[in-house]
Amino acid sequence: MIQMAATTSRYVELAGRIAASISDGTYGIGSRMPSVRDLCRQYDASITTIAAAYRLLERRGLVEPRPQSGHFVRAAPLEAQEPGVSQPHPRPTEVGLGELALMVMRDSLDSQRSQFGPALPDQALAPSVELERIIAGLARRGEAGTQRYDVPPGHRELRVRIARRAAAIGCDLGPDRIVTTAGALEALTLALRATCKAGDTVAIESPMYYGLLQSIESLALRVVEIPTHPRDGIVLEALREALDEHPIAAVVAMPNFNNPLGSRSSDDAKRELVELLGSRRIPLIEDDVLGDLAHDGTRPSPAKAFDRRGLVLWCSSFSKTAAPGLRVGWIAAGKFQAAVEHMKFTSSVATSTLSQVVMAEFLASGGYDRFLRRVRPAYGARCVAMAEAVARYFPRDTRVTRPTGGFVLWVELPRTVDAHRLYDAALDAQVSLTPGPLFSAKQRYRHFIRLNAAGWSQPLEPKLRTLGTLATRFAERGSR
């Protein structure tokens, strides 16, 4: 593990040095870069390391490979600026989303539409064939296990597999500290129920995934939204101030690739977050659903890895990677384990046995890791390409994030554009998007939208251009 981490950081470091030689003009636009062999000699590195460094630079849009000729410096990529730190409403409020999210989800899933809306993984990259083969094999052998309940904590083999993966990223939990759930949203809801009661206030990163906001709303909790940096995650100083000012029952954060921001907190920031909350005995509910999708292939540790007090409730699933429809997730709830097991049992008895068996086998066969190796760089490249297309077709002052994991882009439009009206106009043009107001308790972010880059490819460019044209029209005329 340690050796793997060292190799990984070496290629990232070398990519940084090669990038520096492009930005200081040693290699100008269009010029040919040194060959892989030359760089092996120059940096005393292996072919694999240099090839990985070049692949990273390709994903960042700095160089392009040409068949039989090597790598060339690309024309300066079109880059829009990034949004700034979010500025949510500073006081605790109720959540007022109502039915909006479900409506948007239904509209977006219409297969006639180009789906830039829901944050679903790309179907074409999905490991459907592998999963179907596993299901067929289980059925043939009569081992699908659908006849029995796997009562909480859930299917043992699956928990063993999750525990092994957790250990490799710094969480020595063991299978008995994990409860399987029907996806991450159930895990997060159980975490909220175990730590809060109606009327309590939770502090949340802002913007925040709307499914969690809805769960908070349905439990009659209040929220205080905390400013979040689009690259570095929750602003700890702002969180500290909120904790000083308001009684906070729990904090909800997505340190690895916030949806919609794509932000990622450093290990130091995660440690500081866990210590800050631990010293005040406040539980941290960690949504790590996108943690496996780091574009550079290095799985970041969750905040749970720094938890010494059992106060971090780590929640995740295989929905953004293997298959959302399997509905397999988990929670490692620390001190709240017994409460979570009981709540899971009283709310749904057990997670689908078949889904758990399938996922356990997919993990055991190595298929999941092979799949991740395929999909992570693809999502990285798609995020870069789609962000470039946004810069090309959207109004001049548009800002867009540059996530280093996951597959969504958070787009800030000129203030005159109303995201709901853009959403309606886009649906008429057979394009879906997710309006920004869904990501805040009081429907702020009115001039923001979230775009899904997972399925991005060149043929979708005309649809994005249409969206950009609509946004430009609204920006010029004002759509409010």
Ligand X SMILES: Cc1ncc(COP(=O)(O)O)c(C=O)c1O
Give residues in contact with ligand X (CB under 6 A): 119, 183-185, 209, 211, 254, 259, 287, 289, 317, 319, 324, 329
The closest residue (CB) to ligand X is: 183
CB nearer ligand X, residue 54 or residue 330: 330
Rounded to a whole number of angstroms, the minimum distance from the CB of residue 54 to ligand X is 31
CB nearer ligand X, residue 118 or residue 283: 118
Q: How many helices (H) and strands (E) does the chain have?
A: 15, 17
* Token pair belonging to 195: 């730590």
CB nearer ligand X, residue 170 or residue 324: 324
Residues 157/162/165/169 CA torsion (nearest 10 deg): -150
CA distance 424 to 435: 10
Distances (CA, A) of 96 to 203, 228, 422, 480: 16, 21, 21, 20
CB nearer ligand X, residue 319 or residue 337: 319
CB nearer ligand X, residue 71 or residue 304: 304
CB nearer ligand X, residue 52 or residue 315: 315
Rounded to a whole number of angstroms, the minimum distance from the CB of residue 197 to ligand X is 22
CB nearer ligand X, residue 350 or residue 471: 350
Rounded to a whole number of angstroms, the minimum distance from the CB of residue 271 to ligand X is 22
CB nearer ligand X, residue 92 or residue 183: 183
Rounded to a whole number of angstroms, the minimum distance from the CB of residue 316 to ligand X is 8
CB nearer ligand X, residue 58 or residue 225: 225
CB nearer ligand X, residue 61 or residue 437: 437
CA 289 to chain centre: 6
3-state secondary structure of 312: strand
Q: What residues contact residue 381 under an 8 Å CB cut-off, 6+ apart? A: 58, 59
CA distance 57 to 19: 7
Rounded to a whole number of angstroms, the minimum distance from the CB of residue 210 to ligand X is 9
The CA angle 260-128-295, to the nearest 5 degrees, is 40
Rounded to a whole number of angstroms, the minimum distance from the CB of residue 356 to ligand X is 14
Rounded to a whole number of angstroms, the minimum distance from the CB of residue 458 to ligand X is 26
Rounded to a whole number of angstroms, the minimum distance from the CB of residue 315 to ligand X is 8
CA distance 287 to 210: 13
Strand order in the sheet with 434-435: 399-400, 408-412, 448-452, 434-435
Q: Are 196 and 173 in contact (CB under 8 A)?
A: no
CA distance 34 to 122: 35
- In this structure, are strands 201-206 and 222-229 parallel, antiparallel, or unpaired? parallel
CB burial readout 375-389, b (16+ within 10 A) else e: bbbbbbbbbbbbbbb
Peptide bond into 153 cis (omega under 30): yes
Q: What residues contact residue 338 under an 8 Å CB cut-off, 6+ apart? A: none
Q: What residues contact residue 153 under an 8 Å CB cut-off, 6+ apart? A: 159, 175, 176, 178, 179, 180, 341
CB nearer ligand X, residue 188 or residue 269: 188
Rounded to a whole number of angstroms, the minimum distance from the CB of residue 37 to ligand X is 43
CA distance 393 to 472: 9
Rounded to a whole number of angstroms, the minimum distance from the CB of residue 261 to ligand X is 10
Rounded to a whole number of angstroms, the minimum distance from the CB of residue 384 to ligand X is 21
